[in-house]
Amino acid sequence: MAATGTRLDLDGRPIKPMTICMIGAGGFIGSHLCEKVLFETPHKILALDVYNDKIKHLLEPETQTWADRIQFHRLNIKHDSRLEGLIKMADLTINLAAICTPADYNTRPLDTIYSNFIDALPVVKYCSENNKRLIHFSTCEVYGKTIGSYLPKDSPLRQDPSYYILKEDTSPCIFGSIEKQRWSYACAKQLIERLIYAEGAENGLEFTIVRPFNWIGPRMDFIPGIDGPSEGVPRVLACFSNNLLRRQPLKLVDGGQSQRTFVYIKDAIEAVLLMIENPARANGHIFNVGNPNNEVTVQQLAEMMTEVYSKVSGEPPLETATIDVSSKEFYGEGYDDSDKRIPDMTIINTQLGWNPKTSLWDLLESTLTYQHRTYAEAIKQAISKPVASS
């Protein structure tokens, strides 16, 4: 299924087949990127991860025509001597590895900082020392809070886009106080970005940094008690999906008034492939990858998901579809939040000609159809099981 014939980059040059070392290939983004690369390009993948459940379908040699183009290496980048050798074997390294679940930022701040900064250091070092290109996945959380959030509540400037639209090259990164441990993630991610940028400036590292803005789609996160820990708290889409599947009200943290934008995973992966295959246009750049047209409050997202899920499942929505909870109750002490996360798309549009296509309704329909098909039966069985008496 790989593309045949000569494929050209955005400047009309032939794209040479390459070997990609993909760290975190077994996760949500990695699984979709592996599919894209194997289905549509001749490139090879060295897939590195601790787990491979989400890419198992790509690793069955007897059924797949691309079996010789993907190798899975089960390793943890924290302590594996094979890492440098695998980076050396590749033309390009993509680092997707991270702890990126908000519930962990307060409760596991040390793991969060180590995972997102300390564990990423060897990857940057090996790429720089061996003259290998790096595409590093950061986060839109590096922007922190908007300038507008510090203006008086009734200030008309709060409606001025220059106070809340987030630009890669000019927006400041504004975090909360140190005791708000929620910012441990964003701070670690910002510091690794600065280190990568410095490696580029001082040692000539060829890099691209990706700042995802809520990429949504099938295989995202986990459903607690089914394919993840029962007490686990995944990100908002999987949290809401879990409630819908179990016919429970959706919990709105602090009334669900934070604003977010959501982009469909398949649109976002198109952007990543453009970065992979157009190094002359992508190197040295930081790219927002999101969809500013899909902007909603978390409360509006809950209402839309309730309506879409009712359509795909055929079940009527609950009479009380949502309930309010405090952030302290939901996430624990030390939680804080960004008010808005709306990306400026000028740089990625200028450099790579990329624009997202999928509406919020369509991406929710696709994702919730997948969630219902994958989990509804398992959840019914889990709910109906008698609880053993102690």
Nearest to 133 by CA among 8, 16, 30, 27: 16
C-alpha span between 46 and 250 (Å, rounded) = 39
Token representation of residue 106: 């307060």
Residues in Cβ contact with 271 at an 8 Å cutoff, skipping those fewer than 6 apart: 287, 289, 348, 352, 354
265 close to 215: Cβ distance less than 8 angstroms:
yes
Q: Enumerate the active-site residues.
A: 185
C-alpha span between 40 and 181 (Å, rounded) = 42
Residues in Cβ contact with 60 at an 8 Å cutoff, skipping those fewer than 6 apart: 67
Question: Residue 250 burial (CB < 10 Å; 0-12/13-18/19+)?
Answer: buried
Instruction: Write out the H or E segment, with its range, that includes residue 38.
Output: helix 28-40
C-alpha span between 360 and 85 (Å, rounded) = 42
Token representation of residue 268: 């976002």
DSSP readout, 261-274? E-EEHHHHHHHHHH
Token representation of residue 305: 């998901």
